[in-house]
Amino acid sequence: MYQKEEKFIKNILVKTYHKVIKKHTFDVMEKGYRDVVTTLDLKTEQYIIDHIKKEFPQDQIVSEEYHSLEQLQGRSWVIDPIDGTRNFANHSHVWCMQIAFVDQGKVQTSAIYIPIFKELYFASQKGAWCNQKPMHVDKVKTENAIVLYEHTDDSNHELKDISEIIISNLTDHIANVRSFGSIGVDYAAVACGQFHGVIFWKDSLWDYLPGSFLCEKAGGYVWETILNGKKIHTAFATKELKDTFEKTLKQIIDNK
């Protein structure tokens, strides 16, 4: 049903990387509290939007830089041109590009591209793949799990304190916690079985839609809730790991 969209989404990120990011230098600008944007975030996003408008002129765009206030309406493309911009701006290789296509109220296909590894992660309603090879989450025992965690907004002190307690308590049940500084890289790492869970606090569609769909189609368990007015997005390799996180969170809230 969505063959044209799937073909487009498989090609656009790799094409954009070679046509835009590899060919240009960049400047870094302050964007907000402890947040930056580069000129390549802007060029990359515009390049993708231009190609979407050419192929699907009636579709809606929701994107980090130019269309961040738009809502999902009908057929929509959700774009994060460079996820992990702080890493990218510091010339670290731990960043990615990601995009999702939404129709009929749900994600139909998504892709994440990690240039340093030349890895294209792709998901549709039929499953998930990395460089065209089927992939699945790792059904690890909870005590051996490594969970990826991205810190919440430091300006929200109450939420920051709660999140640190949650992570501290969760480590009593799992092997360890890591942080890459790119939520798209986190999701891809869980979907392909390298790591076993991802937790982060953020409400932006472009941050979580591509990766959460990828993890779901790779056999993972996606779960979210709201704490102190902020969404917690998670994806876990096993139901046991998801249940452990939910139980940990409930105990902390009940003891507040």
Q: Along the chain (256 residues), what's the average pLDDT of each consecutive run of 10 residues? A: 96 98 92 84 98 98 94 96 96 97 96 98 98 97 96 67 87 95 97 97 91 98 86 95 94 78
Terminal Cα-to-Cα distance of the chain (whole angstroms): 49
Tell me if 177 sits within 8 A of 170, measured CB to CB: yes
223 has which bridge partners? Answer: 234
Residue 61 exposure: Cα atoms within 13 Å on the Cβ side: 23
Q: Helices 157-170 and 239-254 meet at what angle, rounded to 10?
A: 130
Q: What are phi and psi of 173, to 5 degrees?
A: -110, -15
Map out the domains of the chain with their CATH numbers: 3-134 (3.30.540.10), 142-254 (3.40.190.80)
Q: How many CB atoms lie within 10 A of CB 107?
A: 24
Q: Which residue, among 224, 236, 208, 213, has the nearest Cα to 137 in the 3D structure?
A: 236
Rg (CA), the chain: 18
